[in-house]
Copies of this chain bind each other. A is one copy, B any other.
């Protein structure tokens, strides 16, 4: 295991420290001597912060301080520090790049590839719980879908630092899958692990539209729908169009249509092409896509190279705010984005 990997796991707080000092040293590489007010201004940092950091850099023999400002004492180490920072940042670059390209608030990437290592699902789950632990507050409403990833997330919730009195609601109805993977069950496990409460949704997710209309007038259903629409957080898995079409029991002509229209990703019964455009939809009970616009934060979770295209499709729909994925999927997404840019550039010439 690389030293940088150990440090990332054991003392991740080193990175911001090194980043800051590298920033200062690099600035001095371009222009020296500089005073700390000038450095503070250039780097948009507090004067006191710069003073503290310069003190430490001086103690380490990297700079010397004179009446006219600060000078470097050792320049070769700066490039090597830059490389170290880059290594420690590791997936941080990719996280930030994808967040920027996809217009997301946050991307969290765990090492590995779910396609190659099933244990990565546990890491995805752990990262999701850590994230939720940071954002969830008492009395928040959390809507969750089903599926294997979210079931694993639910099992990981003991990682929470403290009980949280949230209301957990299934974001969709049952899909005829194993009871353990249904949104109802996931919601119940979530709630129990968090010390909160939950509401159940005793409906299938694939009713005919007429029945859907009739049932949506039921008071209980309206109540759950109202709760769902004001959820603070929605947590949902990412599926490929093909996989989800099969799970929803779509017929061959429907699947052919989706394929023909190049649908690759699915969420909430909607099928998206690579650009995030809806190419097909099935009615579904529970939250609909347009309901997501009123949600505080929509978190998509999923990993594995094979799901990268689906993830990109779903995320390009601009309904999500946060994505938690693995390195395998992230790298493929990045390549696809880069490829898209090259095509756009070629088309523009």
Q: Which residues from chain A sit less than 8 Å from chain B, CB to CB?
A: 1, 3-4, 6-7, 9-14, 17-18, 21-22, 55, 57-62, 64-66, 74, 76-77, 80-81, 84, 87, 123, 126, 130, 158-159, 161
Contact = CB atoms under 8 A, between A and B. Distances in A.
Nearest to A55: B161
A77 B3 contact: no
14 contacts: A1-B76, A1-B77, A3-B4, A3-B84, A6-B81, A7-B84, A9-B60, A9-B62, A11-B14, A11-B17, A13-B17, A14-B17, A65-B158, A66-B158
B159 A12 contact: no
Given A11-B21, A21-B11, A59-B130, A80 B159 contact: no
Contact of A64 (B58, B60, B77, B159): B159
B64 A10 contact: no
Chain A: interface secondary structure? helix
B1 A62 contact: no
B60 A10 contact: yes
A101 B60 CA distance: 28
Contacts of A62: 9-10
A81 B61 CA distance: 27
A12 B11 CA distance: 13
For the complex of A and B, 4 pairs with smallest distance between CB atoms: A9-B60, A1-B80, A3-B3, A11-B17
Most chain B beta-carbon neighbours within 10 Å: one of A11, A22, A59: A11
B12 A84 contact: no
A48 to B, nearest CB: 15
Contacts of A87: 3
A287 B123 CA distance: 67
Given A60-B12, A159-B58, A80 B21 contact: no
Nearest to A134: B59
Nearest to A66: B158
Nearest to A11: B17
Given A1-B77, A10-B18, 7 more contacts: A6-B81, A6-B84, A10-B21, A10-B77, A11-B18, A55-B161, A58-B161
A9 B84 contact: no
Contacts of A13: 17
Nearest to A161: B55
A58 B160 CA distance: 10
